[in-house]
A and B are shown apart, each in its own frame.
Chain A
Amino acid sequence: MHKQPIKEVEVRKVVFQDVTPSISVQKNNSTPMPNNPTNVHPYEDAQNEDTQNDDACVQPENSPTSVQQPVRRSTRVSRPPAKLTDYVMLTDAGEPSCYKEAMLASDHAKWEHAMQSELDSIYKNGTWDLLPLPKNRKALPCKWVYKYKYTSDKTSPKYKARLVAKGFKQEHGVDFDEIFSPVVKMTTLHMLLALDANQDLELVQMDVKTVFIHGDLK
């Protein structure tokens, strides 16, 4: 339904980080290196990488580099390692991978509708207050995640948009503490189904619509 380039973006993510620096060191002995190239904190680096990716998913070439001095990027065509060709990503069904891309899609009206409906439930839930950012704090980034949902009758897909916080930027001990959450054991499920069959009981199912917006943050 959608075109392939999205997959290439995924690949770029893999190679980007670890290949480029080593190439520029090996091949550019003649070019003057910045005086303190090691000043880029790994965390900062990951952040730049990430924001860049969000903005760049539509037009990767034009994306601004976010480090202070302009970094000379390798002109080498990056290719994923051979071992990765054995893998296939099954969860990608050609959905837009960021807000910009969704807005450029031909069916952007449907994505907009999906985002509005997600925001409606967030507002209804009283998820946040708009406040100025406290000093010396960073706001946690978030992004839109888009998904086609096919119902069992296999007609046209439903458009789902979900707002997700970038939890990988949270710091343990500062932003969160304990995170363990149990799920049912398979043996418990099997036992219950066996009991149900044996005793001829009722077996009903329910699911929670937007499960993770229910928790209360301290």
Chain B
Amino acid sequence: MEQPKGYEVSGKEHLVCKLKKSLYGLKQSPRLWYQKFDAFMKTQGCTRSNEDPCLYTKKCSDESSIALILYVDDMLIVGKNKDELSLLKKNLSQTFDMKDLGDAKHILGMRITRDRSKRCIYLSQAEYISKYSRDLIWRMQSR
């Protein structure tokens, strides 16, 4: 690949970048990421679901399970056993450059609110809709 514009190494402008790792924009990048993640999850004793290749489950010692779903760079982890949850989170963070977002609040443009007393989870796309409709209206008017 060409050297990035504005950051060519001085004295080495004639050289090019031989890629060893993937980069944004490469055709194979999403697949390489998935394969790497999949291999990592196997080392964690997780089983990939046959129904959905982005769902992984693990049986914990106390007979409860934890489940993880992956949407490119976003993941949700569900489970009862807090120790197992934090262990998986710790191992993930050590392997990849991760951000721990705590209790899930927002996934795929949906706001997650929960009411534990009623055992309910609410999903809302209100913010997603208002964000884009406001932008759309503003741009239609400004033309």
Contact surface of A with B, Cβ cutoff 8 Å:
54, 85, 88-90, 98-99, 103, 115, 119, 121-122, 125-133, 139-144, 162-167, 170, 172, 175-185, 188-189, 192-217
Q: List 19 A-B contacts (CB under 8 A).
A: A126-B20, A126-B21, A142-B23, A170-B26, A181-B30, A189-B108, A192-B78, A197-B114, A197-B119, A198-B119, A200-B116, A202-B103, A204-B85, A205-B101, A205-B103, A208-B75, A214-B32, A216-B22, A216-B32
Which chain B residues in 113-128 approach chain A with CB under 8 Å?
114, 116, 119-121, 123
- The answer to whether residues A206 and B123 also contact, given A88-B139, A189-B69, A216-B20 and a CB cut-off of 8 A, is no
The residue in chain B whose Cβ has the minimal distance to the Cβ of A182 is B53
Q: Given the complex of chains A and B, what is the CA–CA distance between A46 and B92 in angstroms?
A: 41
Q: In this complex, which of A126, A163, A178, A180 has the most chain B Cβ atoms within 10 angstroms of its Cβ?
A: A163
B101-143 vs A, CB cutoff 8 Å, 1 = contact: the mask equals 1111111100010101001110100000000100110011001
The answer to whether B20 and A212 have CB atoms under 8 Å apart is no
The answer to whether A130 and B16 have CB atoms under 8 Å apart is yes
Chain A residues closer than 8 Å to B18, beta-carbon distance? 128-131
Going nearest first, the 8 A-B pairs with the smallest beta carbon separation are A215-B32, A215-B22, A164-B25, A211-B73, A128-B17, A205-B104, A181-B30, A184-B54
Task: Give chain A nearest CB distance to B77 CB in angstroms.
Answer: 5
- The answer to whether residues A206 and B4 also contact, given A182-B34, A197-B119, A212-B29 and a CB cut-off of 8 A, is no
The count of A-to-B residue pairs whose CB atoms sit within 8 angstroms is: 265
Chain B residues closer than 8 Å to A192, beta-carbon distance? 55, 67, 69, 76, 78
Which chain B residues in 87-106 approach chain A with CB under 8 Å?
89, 92-93, 96-106
The answer to whether B27 and A176 have CB atoms under 8 Å apart is yes
Partner of A164, one of B24, B96, B99: B24
The answer to whether B85 and A202 have CB atoms under 8 Å apart is yes
- The answer to whether residues A130 and B26 also contact, given A183-B54, A189-B107, A204-B76 and a CB cut-off of 8 A, is no
The answer to whether B23 and A164 have CB atoms under 8 Å apart is yes
Chain A residues closer than 8 Å to B78, beta-carbon distance? 192, 195-196, 201-203
